Structure 1
Amino acid sequence: MSVHPFIEENQQLIADFSTTQDVPFYAYDIDGLAQHINQLVNDDIKLWFAVKANPLSKIIKTLAGQGMKFDVASSGELDQVLAQGVKSEHILNTGPAKSLAQITHFFEQGVSVFVAESVNQLALINQQAKEFGVVPSILLRVQLRFEQDSDNPLGGNELTPFGLGSDEWKEVDLSHYQHINVVGLHIFQWGNMLEADALIDLWQTMIAPLKSLANALGFELSVLDLGGGLGVPYDGDDRKLDWETLKEALINIKIQAGVDELWLELGRFAVAEYGYYVNRVVDVKNNYQQELLVMQGGINHLLRPAITSQPFPARLLRHSDSPSQLFHVHGPLCTSLDKLGTLALPSDIHADDTLIFSQCGAYGFTESMPFFLCHELPAEVIVSQGTVEVIRPALPAASYLF
């Protein structure tokens, strides 16, 4: 896989900073991120950032500064986004589990756009809309079945907690919900797709059944939210989606669907490429004729490889002319599940060397399992204009043990 210029330009800076840290850390290319988001934001497609991908304060501020809106799925995400100065009108509430308490909190904070994933959610939102004397805009989340099927983090064609099928929604009489305004439909079933043609075909296939559903329910389809699913390459895969190609297709879909607004909720496609995880080698050993590394941090900091069997790309954070060989890379936890992958690395790697994992800007630390075995929490830092700023310091186990 080609190396992002950020690593080449900042290798010594990161290496020097790593000598001051006793714990692995995340580093974010904040300048590259701002430039990337500036190239994505446009007047034709409304873009929301799925905060689940990375809720770090500086990430949120950077995206807000470039004109992104925010898709939040919990009260914690809402409070974090608001704390960064994001206005409530720039927030969309998604997520399959919306309790009365959570919905009430969103209303109290002035949020007025919700994705309803069930009849119960529709009723609760309607109830609180009446209580607060406001008329929120609602999108109904829909599950469709497609010919394409695969093992996918969002379920694909499988039964999931996300939304309802068209037949189930058609049983709902929207006239019973007088305090809300159903303006659109939301559909999001496929994650981390790397084939533009396949993604566009899926979007095209969605138009007819969604328009039919809106007609059956008797409301004007003015907003169509296609979720996200735009992938980034991992594990040596150099495929990369071209945003201009996708944007052109989305504009055509917007016209075909006859909607006023077309929305996307971007997570990893927005931030993955601009985050790195810096991790120290603790031990190197040969066992059963195979080379094995034990790292200071593992799935307690970086869980994704264990749940996808797909490692993050990694390289040695120093120059080496030694030939590469395969290493089984494990973390510090007392479980064989704690494996970061089988990676090609220089054969002269040794204890106290440092690896830098890329594509870690999305689904990194906040997706991990940090408390198992009571290891330290990693720091999170930003790199901007040749300087390193600690946003969240590393914390010992004593900070969370009681």
Structure 2
Amino acid sequence: MDHFLYKGGVLHAEDVPVAEIAAQVGTPFYLYSTATLERHFKLLDEALCGMEHLVCYAMKAASNQAILKTLAALGAGMDVVSGGEYLRAKAAGVPGDKIVFSGVGKTEGEMRLALEGGVRQFNVESEPEMEVLSAVAVSMGLRAPITVRVNPDVDAKTHAKIATGKSENKFGIPIARARDVYAQAAALPGLEVIGIDVHIGSQLTDLEPFRQAYRKVAELTEILRADGHDIRRLDLGGGLGIPYTQSNEAPPLPTDYGAMISEELGHLGCEVEIEPGRLIAGNAGIMVSQVIYVKSGEGRDFLILDGAMNDLIRPAMYDAHHDIVPVVQPAPGTEQQPYDIVGPVCESGDTFAKQRMMPPLKAGDLVAFRGAGAYGAVMSSEYNTRALIPEVLVHQHQFAVIRARPTFDEMINRDTIPEWL
């Protein structure tokens, strides 16, 4: 469920007409609903009720500080994968003991940054990383709390570019080698082993891959405890999918996910962390764009929008589907027609949908891309010297621009001309 609904024939974000925001902000832009962000977080938090737990929002999904502060106010922790994300979380007021530092390529500088500012744990992914982290911690007179990310070799049955839990993926250490790696970690003076980390992929629509992975984690927990390790925290990653279309089968409910976690891992007495990103932010955001031209081609019509692949790259990168709806609701019984929906960037890949059935549209009409709150704004670029589009947050009847569109002068003046030119 989200809070982008038609009222009086016009799409609203909570209590604000989307067209009113477009008139003031200009198109294209991202638009987020506070009520949806809050609802999704609370559903996940309540799903783990009865277990000691922390929901750590995966910032890579959408990292605007206004979104972070909204979630932090509800008690969310943060999952970060870079020094920049760590600093964003801190700037949003998130305490270090609620920040989990993930990522396969942490640098010494990032490790030092997090140790100085406080960190809940590092999810380490290799023996070389453990050695470097230990050396950095020792040089600071500290011990770094760690989990080791294990790769359970479980097929998440998701898109190949967002699968992370199979043996050929770059993430984590093979679960078959876990005992040896944990023994190495325990022997390093700058590390404190506190748990296990696992994450098998993103946009999962079935609980069975999670169940397979978590059973392996449960078995490993018992083995490592028998080896003398104090395994008291299980970081289960994120990955639960969202419905990107109104017609496809709905992914599992957070309550079912929570029940499965309790069933598979509750007997271990461990604190549980989950790291949802898409599930919180995905349907909490839309991208609003305007039709520039309707162009008739050879056997097909094109809707050419002012939004482009640099603004929302998921369709070009992942062949991702987004429902695209008119901001003005068509009259009942309006006959639809197929359009190729494209942007103005000089790439054939700048195509959002092919032969998508839509009501008749004309230049100046507004459309909204649903499910665009995750991996939309954070993956955008200034390709073709196109400005990063604004981000807007709605709260009931209010809205605020939370990232402004830069001017072309601001963009161009970032360049530095060498003195010989």
1:32 aligns with 2:36: yes
Distance 1:5 1:168 in 2: 46
Distance 2:80 2:139 in 1: 22
Q: 1:157: which partner in 2?
A: 166
Structure 1 residues 214, 175: CA separation in 2 closer, same or farther (over 3 Å shift)? same
Q: 2:63: which partner in 1?
A: 55
Find 1:64's aligned residue among 58, 68, 72: 72
1:78 aligns with 2:86: yes
* More deviation, 126-135/72-81: 126-135
Any idea what the Cα deviations from partners look like across 1:38-88, whole Å, max 9, x if unmatched? 232244232111000110111101111111110011111111111111111
Letter in 2 for 1:192: Q
What runs of 5+ residues in structure 2 fail to find an aligned partner?
416-421
Q: 1:14: which partner in 2?
A: 18
Identity value in percent: 25
Structure 1 residues 169, 126: CA separation in 2 closer, same or farther (over 3 Å shift)? same
State how 1:350-369 maps to structure 2 within 5 Å.
350-368=362-380
* More deviation, 76-85/387-396: 387-396
Shift of 1:6: 2.5
Distance 2:227 2:103 in 1: 22
Find 2:327's aligned residue among 293, 317, 332: 317
State how 1:208-227 maps to structure 2 within 5 Å.
208-211=218-221, 214=224, 218-227=228-237
Q: 1:244: which partner in 2?
A: 255
Find 1:128's aligned residue among 117, 121, 136: 136
Q: 2:111: which partner in 1?
A: 103
SS of residue paired to 1:395? coil
Find 1:206's aligned residue among 188, 208, 216: 216
Letter in 2 for 1:249: M
Distance 1:137 1:88 in 2: 12
SS of residue paired to 2:55? strand
Find 1:181's aligned residue among 162, 172, 192: 192
Shift of 1:177: 0.6
Letter in 2 for 1:336: S
State how 1:240-389 maps to structure 2 within 5 Å.
240-256=251-267, 258-321=268-331, 322-342=334-354, 344-368=356-380, 370-389=381-400
Letter in 1 for 2:168: L
Distance 2:96 2:252 in 1: 31
Shift of 1:225: 1.3
SS of residue paired to 1:284? strand
C-alpha root-mean-square deviation of aligned residues, in Å?
Answer: 2.2
SS of residue paired to 1:285? strand
CA contact (8 A) 1:25 1:380 kept: yes
Any idea what the Cα deviations from partners look like across 1:241-281, whole Å, max 9, x if unmatched? 2111111111122224x142121110101111111110111
Give the TM-score taking structure 1 as reference length.
0.92
Structure 1 residues 4, 46: CA separation in 2 closer, same or farther (over 3 Å shift)? closer
Give the TM-score taking structure 2 as reference length.
0.88
Q: 1:234: which partner in 2?
A: 244
Letter in 2 for 1:400: M
Distance 2:81 2:69 in 1: 18
Shift of 1:348: 2.0
Q: 1:193: which partner in 2?
A: 204
CA contact (8 A) 2:97 2:118 kept: yes
CA contact (8 A) 1:305 1:311 kept: yes
Q: 1:390: which partner in 2?
A: 401
Distance 2:157 2:35 in 1: 38
SS of residue paired to 1:400? helix
Structure 1 residues 169, 158: CA separation in 2 closer, same or farther (over 3 Å shift)? closer
* More deviation, 147-156/132-141: 147-156
Aligned length: 397
Distance 1:36 1:235 in 2: 18
Any idea what the Cα deviations from partners look like across 1:147-201, whole Å, max 9, x if unmatched? 66554313442522211113444443234312221111111122101123x2443
Distance 1:328 1:94 in 2: 39
What runs of 5+ residues in structure 1 fail to find an aligned partner?
none
Q: 2:124: which partner in 1?
A: 116
Distance 2:389 2:63 in 1: 15
* More deviation, 334-343/64-73: 334-343
Shift of 1:213: 5.7
CA contact (8 A) 1:224 1:259 kept: no
Find 1:166's aligned residue among 162, 175, 178: 175
SS of residue paired to 1:122? helix
Letter in 2 for 1:373: N
